[in-house]
A and B are shown apart, each in its own frame.
Chain A
């Protein structure tokens, strides 16, 4: 007796601590769940540099937001943008406008290249220097000389007589179509004129609070712009917008699913017990489970993903099983049996039910998906906490006379008597053959899909905006790029140049429209040295282009010597480190990963890439040392595929493990406990196939949970025998219905992954529930079936 009270007291202490910790987390720390759906994906274990390059591309995008405000003419666009900007500036704690890339910065940036201008030329001009004779260069110099409109050249004629620096500056400017205009950033598409507003968020994009505040502010700004110029066009793109859309959807689903399943359970228990006490008791165990799961997960992971909470919300559907089972048995038991004795009697079944369910969740915890691991740990801990609450507190709280006897309706008890039972007869054989045929037909139609869109399903409007904006601004694709590595920074730049040799022809073929690379700005030392030699030989030598030019324009040797001197002085080596320190390099710094893992690495990003070009671009990296083609979409799909495969094995092995766990207690009848779940899983797969769905990771994950939940029903019935104990059957019915309620609601989710998960649970649980009584081995006698009441 004493030990029991001690345990109950100890549990009271634990629950008290949980309450305090939760209060501290929500009220003190004001924790907000993560909403980055890609956090579900595993870290790239095998390659830290590759992982860093992913992170670099993601980071470059994550905190950024691009807004363009367009109208039919520039003046209108500016007025609208002014109104838009004014609203954003009211919250400079939230976001910062990056319009400092204006004329001033641009010309200052140019000034810093002046000392290196003789070395900076485009690939085309480099080839021309090598291949063309003096005549070509003299013609070009003269054309520049006589050109009436010199004002667009960056430097005086004598500083760049052949115009190669001018061409280089133009090529660099053309890396983006955005131009400074009247102190703002401008882009046009020939029809409309747009003001570009690059924005950096000052708070993490993946926090719900940021998203809500940001979206509200953007909407307010849009309205202000619209008020100023009614036909204004505002396009917004940025990770935060997608995250907000996903987050909004998830929080809505979280509340609907959570609320729906709680309501369902309350209703069910009311119908069964006609009393509020069982509701309070079951809710108590569920609440303690949730609090415990939250606290422990937060301590383990330091963060919580919104998806863990969404899936965790369905945990409510699983955690009440133990309480319901205990209460049903309490009602069904003799008043002479005290609650502790009853618990001792029920403990083996409760323990097996817990372990087999947790084994299912632990299968999820084995995946390297950080998000899934969280979901698994969250759910498993929630179940353990709910279970402990039942075991430590329920016998104290529920006295034999706490609950009134219930009268089950006749049709209910009667229904069990007529439930078909498997046997060595023709009927069973026919059913088995029909089932086998259906299973083979369905499963053979089941396709496979590992598409990344399973994880994210942004609203169409957002996607359209993004596509239009990418086109307008000619942005590089974030999903595919080259990762270039080398022992030194110089080696990386040289390898980039080797890659560019292969990419330039692809631009000519219009497979890509261009690329962003650090070596566009800073050629490798080797190239710079080679260029000095090239200029000396082709341009500055006595028989070079400059001497011929001097003769043509009638200048003397003094001019020749002075101009040579000027060009040589402008051939100072340009160093990467110096460039990275300048303001001009700011938009390009993300390309340079720098020193990592004992070497250096960089990114070469591609613009104007279409789907058809992917294999050719992948091929372009083939055979180049240290150059790797990275396709994040493909990589994620591959990872999803890998874990679909991997989890299928985990499911299969779990069946064996569960069989092993159950065998010591049920011996020859163990298959009766496990078979309904296994058959239900097969039936689910077949139905998915018939419904035309493709098998994906989230179906397999749901099969794992079906194992956990379905085996409980087998255990409950096997412990008591459905026919002799309608109370066990009542527990199964209540559990199954509430599981269906919570997971069934999950299948309403708009996120394809959650929907697949919910749908699978819906079918699987229904089938287990319907067929589990068929596997009963206890002979039925009618009078016994009603004897308990």
Chain B
């Protein structure tokens, strides 16, 4: 009996071993949202950057530009050049948690995710799939289920919200190293 959970557990260590952990990586994302009540899916695309120990930059380019910057202590939204909205951890303590989760999702840091989610998944020939279920019932009610797929990098994230809204994000053209970030992206950090 005691062994059963082990059999069902995701091969987290194996997946971690496959994943690259660059200090900086950027790429293109294509986002597809299927929302309850809307006939057509809502699609957008843009660029993203994940910087270890700093945070995430999320630049929607199409259909209209919108930039989000998530760091340890705040979430800032830029509308064009100016700051549209700022949410800091001092006022909203969940900011830290949310940012931590998002960073871990994009970087595929299953070790961090395991603290909040039950992880179930498989790995075959360098390609892996995992499903995350929030451990806290309240969180599960809001987030629903998250699934991740990838190889050396996370290639796809799917978030199914309890409300029925569903978001799929595909990552491509991932670059690492000093040249990964453009100059104006670096300026935002």
Which of A106, A156, A188 has the most B CB atoms < 10 Å from its CB?
A156
Once bound together, how far apart are the Cα atoms of A562 and B144, in whole Å? 26
Selected from B31, B35, B141, the residue in CB contact (under 8 A) with A148 is B31
Q: Does A154 contact B (CB under 8 A)?
A: yes
On whether the beta carbons of A156 and B66 are closer than 8 Å, the reply is no
Pairwise interchain contact B39-A150, C-beta atoms closer than 8 A? no
Q: Is the interface of B mostly helix, strand, loop or mixed?
A: mixed
Q: What residues of chain B lie closer than 8 Å to A150, measured between beta carbons? A: 33, 159, 161, 165, 167
| Complex contact A143–B77 (CB within 8 A) | yes
Residues of B within 8 A of A152 (CB): 94, 98, 142
CB nearest neighbor in B for A182 = B136
Q: A555: which B residues are within 8 A, CB to CB?
A: 38-40
Q: Mark A176-188, 1 if CB is under 8 A from B, else 0.
A: 0101111100111
Q: Are B42 and A155 neighbours in the complex by a CB distance under 8 Å?
A: no
Asked whether B36 is an interface residue with its Cβ less than 8 Å from the other chain, the reply is: yes
* A148–B146 CA distance with the chains assembled, in angstroms: 13
Whether B76 is near chain A, meaning CB under 8 Å from some CB there, is no
B contact residues around A147 at 8 Å (CB): 68
Query: With an 8 A cutoff between CB atoms, is A107 at the interface?
Result: yes
Q: Are A103 and B42 in contact (CB under 8 A)?
A: no
Q: Is the CB–CB distance between A156 and B137 below 8 Å?
A: no
Cα distance, A354 to B139, chains bound together (Å):
74
User: Which of B31, B37, B136 meets A156, CB within 8 Å?
Assistant: B37
B-side contacts of A562, CB under 8 Å: 37
Interface flag for B156 (CB, 8 Å): no
Query: Across the interface, which residues of B come within 8 angstroms of A170, CB to CB?
Result: 92
In the complex, A174 has a CB within 8 A of chain B: yes
A158 contacts chain B at the CB level, 8 A cutoff = yes
- Chain A residue contacts of B68, Cβ below 8 A: 147-148
A146 at the interface (CB under 8 A from B): yes
Cβ A188 vs Cβ B37 within 8 A: no
Say whether A183 contacts B136, CB under 8 Å. yes
Q: Are B66 and A146 in contact (CB under 8 A)?
A: yes
The residues of A that contact B84 with a CB separation of less than 8 Å are 143
A691 close to chain B: CB less than 8 A: no
Question: Smallest Cβ distance from A586 to chain B, in angstroms?
Answer: 17
If A154-B142, A190-B89 touch, whether A182 touches B31 (CB-CB below 8 Å) is no
What is the distance, in angstroms, from B96's C-beta to the closest C-beta of chain A?
A: 7
Q: What B residues does A183 contact at CB under 8 A?
A: 136-137
Contact residues of B between 91 and 115, Cβ < 8 Å to A: 91-94, 96-98, 102
**A143-B77, A149-B98, A156-B37 known; A103-B136 Cβ under 8 A:** yes
Does residue B131 face the partner (Cβ distance < 8 Å to A)? no
**A residues touching B (Cβ–Cβ < 8 Å)?**
102-104, 106-107, 139, 142-143, 145-152, 154-159, 170, 173-174, 177, 179-183, 186-188, 190, 553-555, 559, 562-563, 566
What would 20 more interface pairs be, CB under 8 Å, given A151-B142, A151-B161, A152-B98? A103-B138, A104-B137, A139-B79, A145-B33, A146-B60, A148-B68, A149-B102, A150-B33, A151-B144, A156-B37, A156-B164, A157-B165, A159-B163, A173-B92, A181-B136, A183-B136, A183-B137, A190-B73, A190-B90, A559-B38
Residue pairs across A and B with Cβ atoms less than 8 A apart, 6 shown, are A146-B42, A150-B159, A170-B92, A182-B136, A183-B136, A553-B40
Residues of B at the A interface (CB closer than 8 Å) are 29, 31, 33, 35-40, 42, 44, 58, 60, 63-64, 66, 68, 73, 77, 79, 84, 89-94, 96-98, 102, 116, 135-139, 141-144, 159, 161, 163-165, 167, 169
